[in-house]
A and B are shown apart, each in its own frame.
Chain A
Amino acid sequence: MNSIIGIAVKDVKTFFRERGTVFWTIAFPIMILLLFTAIFGRDIPFNATIGIINNDGETLSENAISRLNETGFLTLKTFTDTNKALEELNATTIRAVLTIPENFSQNLIVYGHADISLVVDGTNPDVYQLIDNGIRTFFAEFYKQLNPSYSDPINVKTEVLVVGEKIGYKENIVPGMLTYPLLFSSMVASTGAIVFEREKGTLKKIRAAPIPAINMLLGKTLAALFQTAISIIIMSVLAAVLLGPKLNWNIPLLLPIFFLGSINGIALGLIISCIGRAPQEASNAATTIGIVLQFFTGMYFPIEYLPTYMQQIGQVIPMTYAAQSIRNVMIRNATINDLAFPLATLAVSAVILYGVGVLLYRKWVEK
C-alpha cells in the first residue's frame, strides 16, 4: 500500500512542478466549458446568414423582414439582384436566399394567401433543414399575430440548391472526417517531435550540427507529413468502402488541400513542441488546442451553431479554409479557381506559422 501511495504522491508532485502541464490541465476544462456555454448556452443556439430579396417593398413585407432580423436566428443580407444572391449562395458565404415576390402584401391582404420563395444550400442537411423549418415557423407565427383566424396563409416554396447530387448525412460527414487528420494526426505527429528529442537528449546532437533551425523544423515536418498521409489514406479508403458516400473524389484538387492543411497542423504542433518542456505538457496543449479548433472549423457540426463572433473567429483560422475546401470539392464540385483563395490563405498561414516556429525554436530551444 505504501508503494502505491508513494508512486501516486511522486506523480502528483511531479505534475505540480511541471507548470506547463498544470496550465493545460486547468485550461482544458475551462476552455471546453466556456465554448459549450458560448455555443449552447444561448436561447437560440443557431445563426445562419441568408440573403433576402424584397421585390414587394410594402410595409407588411418590410415589417416581416424586420421581425425576422430580430429573431437572432438569422443574419440577413439584403440583395436586389437574384443572380448575385445565388452566386453568393453557391460560394457558401450565405446559406439561403429568401425572395419575397412582387404583390406579396397585396395577395396576402386581398386573397388571404401568398407565396415566398426560399432557395437553400443543400450541402449541409442540418443547416438546410434548420433554415427551412425556421422560416416556415416564423412566417406562420408572423401572420397568426396579424390575423389569428387564418392559419398558414404564407406558403414557403423551398428549392434546394446543390451543385452536384443532393447529399445525405454521410456525404456531409465524410469531408468533415477527412479534416480530422489535418488537425489531429498532423498536430499529434509533430507536437512531440522536439519535446522527445529534448527529453532523450538527442536534441543536443542536432543542435551541435551545422544546420539552421528551419532545417530541423522542415525535417520534422516531412516525417509528420508522412504519418498524416497514412491517416488520410486509411480514412479515405475506409470511408469510401464502409460508408459509400456519393462524393466527388477529385484527388488532384484534394491533394493540395490535404498537403497545405497538414502543413498548417504540423506547424502548429511544432510551435507547441518548441514551447513545451515536458511530453505531457505538449500532449495536453495539443489536445486542448485541437479540440477547441474543431469547434471553429465546422468539421463536425455546422459553424452556424456558433455565435456570430465565433463564426468570425473561425474565418481567420486557416484550418477552417481546409475544412471548407474539402467540403466544397467533394460536395460542390469546386474548381481550382474556387480553391485559389483558400489555398493561398493556407500557404500564407503556413509560412507565418513556420516563421513563428523558427523564432520560438531559437528563443526556447537554442537559448
Chain B
Amino acid sequence: MIIEVKDLVKHYGEVKAVDGVAFQVEEGEIFGLLGPNGAGKTTLMEILCGLRRFDRGKITIHGFDLTKDLLKVRACIGFCPQETLLYDLLNVKENLAFSASLYGLSSKKFKERVEFASKVFGISEFLNRRVEKLSGGMKRRANLAASIIHDPPIVILDEPTVGFDPNVKREFWELIKNLKKFGKTVLLSTHDMYEADEICDRVAIMNKGKVAALDKPHTLKKSIGGEPFISLRAKDSQAKKALTCLKEYNCILRDSEIQILTKNPWEFMTKISEELASKGVLIEKIEIIEPTLEDVFLKLTGRKLLEETQ
C-alpha cells in the first residue's frame, strides 16, 4: 500500500467534512475520489498533502506517518490543485525552477526533469513564454509539469480537468494515464463520472464526507445489477411501427424511446438497424446504454451526481 487512510475525521465547526473515511491505494494505480461538490474530496486531498490538520484517524503515505513525518510525506507527493498555481510574470521554465527549488533539486536533475516534462506534457514550445501569455490548456499542462518536477512517486490531482472542453479533457486524460506508465501512483478527485470511469483503476464514491462505495468502476456498475441495453428512437412518430417489427425482442416503450433488453446488445444493434430499415422505419438514434457510475451514485445515495454537482 502506498497510501493508507484509516478512520479519518475532519470537522469545520459543526460540519463533518470528512467522516470516518478509510481506504488504501495500491502502488502504481490511478485511484479516483468521485463525488459531488461538498462531498469532502478537496478537504481529504488537502489533508493527504499536509495542508490541513485532521481531528482523528491515521494516514500513512509511502511508509511515513503523516502526523510524524510531515515533511517526508510532502517530499513524495506532487500536488496539483484545481487552480493554476503558476506565477504569471515568470515564464514556464522559471516557474518549474521555482518548484524544483522547493524540493531541493540539483541543477542536473532539474535539466533532466524539464526534458522529461517537455516530452510528456508537450510544454517545450512555450517553456520560455510568460505564463500570462499562455492559453488555459497550456497553463494547466505547465501546472501539472510543475507539480511533478521533483519526480514524486505519488501524484495528487484535485479536479484536474474541471472547466476543460471535451478535447482538452481527453488530452489530459492521456497525460494522467502516462503518469501511471511512468510508475506514478495517481490519486485524483473528480465529479465527472466519465472521467472516473475512463481513467481510474479504482474509484471511491464519496458522499457527505463518507466513502459510500469503493471498487473498480466496472465492478461498481455491475454491483447495482444493471445490464446494458439498446435504446432506439424512431423518426416521424414511427415508434409503434418499430415496436411491431421488434416483437420478437423484449422491448419497453419509455418516453417515445424503445429500450431493447438483450444479452449481447453489441451483437444485435446492427441487425436491428437493418431489420427496421428494411421495413421502412427510419431510425433517429440508436445506442447501447450501459449503467454508469452516475447510476451507482443514484442507487447509493438516492440523488443524481450531476444535479448535486450543479
Contacts and interface: CB of A to CB of B under 8 A. Distances in A.
A201 interface: yes
B83 A208 contact: no
A202 interface: yes
A179 B81 CA distance: 43
A89 to B, nearest CB: 52
B49 A211 contact: no
Contacts of B50: 207-208
Contacts of B79: 204-205, 208
In this complex, the interface size class of chain A, counting residues with CB under 8 Å from chain B, is: 10 to 19
B77 A208 contact: yes
Interface stretch (B27-35, B67-75, B196-204): B67-75
Max chain A CB contacts within 10 Å: which of B71, B99, B102?
Answer: B102
Given A201-B81, A211-B102, 15 more contacts: A200-B85, A202-B87, A204-B51, A204-B79, A204-B83, A205-B99, A205-B102, A205-B146, A206-B102, A208-B49, A208-B50, A209-B74, A209-B102, A210-B71, A212-B71
Contacts of A211: 71, 102
A367 interface: yes
16 contacts: A202-B87, A204-B51, A204-B79, A204-B85, A205-B79, A205-B85, A207-B51, A208-B49, A208-B51, A208-B79, A209-B74, A209-B102, A210-B74, A210-B102, A210-B103, A211-B71
B53 interface: yes
A202 B74 contact: no
Contacts of B146: 205
Nearest to B70: A210
Interface string B76-102: 010101010111000000000001001
A201 B74 CA distance: 18
B257 to A, nearest CB: 45
A206 B71 CA distance: 12
A201 B51 CA distance: 13
Given A204-B51, A367-B53, A209 B103 contact: yes
A211 B104 CA distance: 9
Contacts of B51: 204, 207-208
Contacts of B103: 209-210
Nearest to A211: B102
Contacts of B102: 205-206, 209-211
Contacts of A212: 71
Q: Which of A200, A204, A205, A211 has the most CB of B within 10 A?
A: A205
Interface string A326-367: 000000000000000000000000000000000000000001
B53 A202 contact: no
A201 B81 CA distance: 10
A201 B49 contact: no
Nearest to B156: A208
A206 B50 CA distance: 11
A252 B231 CA distance: 86
A210 B85 CA distance: 17
Nearest to A367: B53
A201 B72 contact: no
A88 B291 CA distance: 91
Interface string A179-221: 0000000000000000000001110111111111000000000
A200 B79 CA distance: 16
Interface string A203-242: 0111111111000000000000000000000000000000
A75 B87 CA distance: 57
A170 B4 CA distance: 69
A208 B53 contact: no
A260 to B, nearest CB: 26
Contact of B74 (A200, A208, A367): A208
A200 B95 CA distance: 14
A194 B71 CA distance: 20
A277 B49 CA distance: 22
A363 to B, nearest CB: 12
Interface string B47-62: 0011101000000000
A212 to B, nearest CB: 7
Given A207-B51, A208-B51, A210-B103, A201 B75 contact: no
Contacts of B85: 200-202, 204-205
A201 B42 CA distance: 14
B76 to A, nearest CB: 9
Nearest to A209: B102
